[in-house]
Amino acid sequence: MAKAKGDIIIDVEICKGCELCVEACPENIIETAKQVNNKGYLYVVKVEDSCTGCTNCALVCPEAAITVYRKVKKKKELVTKISNVTSDITLKVGK
């Protein structure tokens, strides 16, 4: 099972189903839905949870319809944890 490092929210009502994000996604986790939105477009949806939060889909989206989240490494926290505790925790935070 893929481990999610990021996530996207697609505003399906402004999506026009151009599929440029489908093309741009390196994880191949965006697909065209089986139904249309209120404007009559076959919108796109995320179908798997392996999003890395790379933002490629949002960058090429002509509708500014995609919001992207990515789990950020907090450098300070990371350093503190590495120095203070065990490698067990750093594994969870890091890659």
Partner 1 sequence: MSEQTIIDEIKTEENLVYKKPEALKDTPFHYCPGCAHGVVHRLIAEVIDEMGIQSETIGVAPVGCSVFAYNYIDVDMTEAAHGRASAVATGIKRVLPDRLVFSYQGDGDLAAIGTGETIHTCNRGENVLIIFINNGIYGMTGGQMAPTTLENMKSTTTPFGRDVSVMGYPLKITELVAALPGTQYVTRQAVYKPGLVRKTKKAIRKSFELQKENKNGTCFIEVVANCPSNWKMTPVESNKWLEENMLPFYQLGDIKTPNGRK
By CB under 8 A, name the one of 32, 45, 53, 78 that touches partner 1: 53
Count of residues engaged in binding partner 1, rule: CB under 8 A: 37
Please state, as a whole number, how many other Cβ atoms lie within 10 Å of the Cβ of residue 58: 18
Q: Are 27 and 89 in contact (CB under 8 A)?
A: no
By CB under 8 A, name the one of 34, 35, 72, 87 that touches partner 1: 72
Q: Are 8 and 29 in contact (CB under 8 A)?
A: no
* 78 part of the interface to partner 1, by CB under 8 A: no
Minimum distance from residue 59 beta carbon to partner 1 (Å): 4
Minimum distance from residue 67 beta carbon to partner 1 (Å): 5
* 31 part of the interface to partner 1, by CB under 8 A: no
Element (H, E) at 78: helix 75-84
